[in-house]
Amino acid sequence: MAGNSFGTLYKLTSFGESHGKGVGGIVEGVSPGLKLDMEFIQHELDRRRPGQSEITSPRDESDRVEFISGHIDGVATGTPLAFVIWNKDQRSRDYDNLKDIFRPSHADYTYQSKYGIRDHRGGGRSSARETIARVVAGAVAKLMLKELGVTVQAYVSQVGSLKVTKSYKDLDLALAETNIVRCPDPDMAKQMIAYIDGVRRDHDSVGGVVSCVIANAPVGLGDPVFDKLHARLGQAMLSINAVKGFEYGSGFSSVEMLGSQHNDEFYMEDGRVHSRTNRSGGIQGGISNGEDIYFRVAFKPVATILKDQNTVDREGNEVVMKAKGRHDPCVVPRATPIVEAMAAMVIADNVLLNKTYR
């Protein structure tokens, strides 16, 4: 199976399955001498882990990370940083009845068709549990970016039809971590939580949107043509489980504007070029311009729902599927740190690539 590595100089190769012994990865490109703040890295994992609230999967995993190479006394040596998170609370028996059934909107049929074999226990490699490795690598990337003053902050801006209508500039993004849905608008957060809980009680699921802001990114990240910064970010976000859409800057709303309305005019301040508006989302010509980089990521409703669904089995027989197991009614609260992690890896990779030009 190909496609298990992401990045060029700052690079993650991940391994493991949802119901295997564990999930882990190897990170290359970590700055020698970087202090690995283990509490911060574990905190990032805690933000992603299941069982953290009544609106997330009740699977009980502590998700404690164990680093097995690449550092001495918590300081990175610059050699490959290897780590593993052991699975503790997998219940493979919940999937026994799905061994020969293709779950609607899952990777069961495509994996079986492509590889001739699949891990039916929670989806194996296609499970969102694989994203644990991304969060660890993203946390280390955040530590590298912190030394440059770069921050990455994501938050839930929509659940179903419930939307935060304010610009991120008019929100206190720190409030996102004060509620279980990770929405920085307290009133909207209450509505979202109540809605998700109602969906959960009805044994269904709902989608949402995670917005992300990258502040203080240096000018010049990204390369023209095929490696535009927004193209790299788009690939990163679209590689996350359940993601159905990505837009940056003004995104799809730009089609309703005229050029005279959409263009970001430049001006000088403190000896540096700035733009009065930022509909470009901090990226022009595929290269960062020093303004905030902001984008939105759309997540579909979780595919596994505890309702009867029509499907087929491996023999082509039409059957009614009765799902079991523990699943999120809405993925976006736990997806927020994953979005941040992938964004941080992209920026860290491009920072390292920029150094090669000099």
Domain with residue 342: its CATH number is 3.60.150.10
Read off the pLDDT band of 50 (50, 70, 90).
Answer: confident
Rounded to whole angstroms, what are the CA distances from 247 to 69, 145, 238, 250?
A: 37, 23, 11, 8
Q: What is the pLDDT of residue 1?
A: 82
Q: How far apart are CA 121 and CA 17, in angstroms?
A: 9
Task: Please determine, for residue 89, whether its predicted confidence score (pLDDT) is greater than 70.
Answer: no
Task: Please determine, for residue 290, whether its predicted confidence score (pLDDT) is greater than 90.
Answer: yes
Contact status, residue 137 vs residue 27, Cβ threshold 8 Å: yes
Number of domains in the chain: 1
Contact status, residue 239 vs residue 342, Cβ threshold 8 Å: yes
Q: What is the pLDDT of residue 19?
A: 82
Range of the domain at 160: 5-355
Q: What is the pLDDT of residue 94?
A: 63
Read off the pLDDT band of 191 (50, 70, 90).
Answer: very high
Q: 35-49, 113-127, 326-340: lowest mean pLDDT where?
A: 113-127
Average pLDDT, the chain: 93
Task: Please determine, for residue 180, whether its predicted confidence score (pLDDT) is greater than 80.
Answer: yes
Contact status, residue 300 vs residue 160, Cβ threshold 8 Å: no
Task: Please determine, for residue 92, whether its predicted confidence score (pLDDT) is greater than 80.
Answer: no
Q: How far apart are CA 89 and CA 324, in angstroms?
A: 15
Read off the pLDDT band of 55 (50, 70, 90).
Answer: confident
Q: What is the pLDDT of residue 323?
A: 74
Contact status, residue 238 vs residue 295, Cβ threshold 8 Å: no
Its pTM stands at 0.94
- Number of neighbours of residue 220 by Cβ within 10 angstroms: 15
